[in-house]
Amino acid sequence: MHILITGGAGFIGVRLARRLLADNHLTTVTGRHPITRLTLLDQAAATGVPEDPRVRIVAGNAADPDLVASLVADADVVYHLAAVVSVAAERDFDLGMSVNLHGTLALLEACRKTGRKPLFIKASSAAVYGGPLPAECGEETALFPQTSYGMQKVVGEYLVDDFSRKGFVDGRCLRLPTIVVRPGAPNMAASSFASSLVREPLMGKPFVCPVPPETPVCLLSVRRVVDSFVHAASLTPKDLGQSRAIQLPGLTMTVADMVGALAEVGGKAAVTRLTFSPNAEIVAIVKGWPVRFSTKRSGPLGFRADTNARQIIADFVADELDGEVAP
């Protein structure tokens, strides 16, 4: 089995690649398949992936139709994670449209032209929601995104639905809550603060949080999101029905709750490195996000949320900091 991951140098892409290589197989509706090749495509070459003869790392634009056509030609599974994230897509409309919308369409068209109906698993986002929201959001909630990024994700979902309906791909889209704790440097995602307020203090660095402590958030751990992308491959078209979009469950809390969990894992010293200075642009975006998600669909399909923030942070320390936190 040949698997292509776009956005393969991103933190989810790299960790998904590690998981697939460790498992040595992927289970789909047609059974358990050994992984013979794994291609990682991103603007920059992926790092942190184990050396393995099955791995090919490609630096290039995931919106380049010729490049993606060459990579998709014999791919059995496409994980489409490449995206211009929320704040960046809002500030640069043309870039967001090029990568998030036209890039998704180019990739789907490349899959269609193979005539092979590859499995197509796309990262979507809770940014698809917006406007007046119910107490819980899910697949039955009307989509009214309040950012260009959210709009681009909605259109991407509809494209995957239609290409699946036509039999060009076997698609599914996973709507992600805020994923924590992201390793590495902060990025241009509005949700970046949720990782930074944990990661930076644990590494001995100060961090100024751009949203108030009472801000509610809905979180999913890196471990759980990787589990979800692997699990999504095993679902059947009958499981999914007409809509290929699945809202992943999350753990709802406030930023203050996260700070409390940070204190449990990193001690009081970690908390003293945090200060708060609300940023109007970030606050406005975050206020438009839902903070509770229905599990009416995701639960029966086998997707699971985390149980507590302390465990999410402890797993980050174990996975990314070698079990050590700054004194």
Q: List the catalytic residues.
A: 149
3-state SS, 201-266, equals HHCCCCEEECCCCCCEEEEEEHHHHHHHHHHHCCCCHHHHCCCCEEECCCEEEEHHHHHHHHHHHH
Q: How far is CA 20 from CA 55, 109, 188, 190, 216, in A?
A: 11, 26, 27, 29, 33
What residues are paired with 221 via a beta bridge? Answer: 180
**Residue position matching structure tokens 């908390």:** 271
Distance of alpha carbon 230 from alpha carbon 298, whole angstroms: 14
Distance of alpha carbon 218 from alpha carbon 38, whole angstroms: 31
Q: What burial class does residue 3 get, using C-beta atoms within 10 Å of its C-beta: 0-12 exposed, 13-18 middle, 19+ buried?
A: buried
241-271 burial, b at 16+ Cβ within 10 Å, e below that, comes to: eebbbbbbbbbbbbbebbbebbbebbeeebe
Distance of alpha carbon 135 from alpha carbon 175, whole angstroms: 17
- DSSP string covering 259-296: HHHHHHHH-HHHHHTEEE---HHHHHHHHTS---B--T
What does the DSSP 8-state code read for residue 76?
S
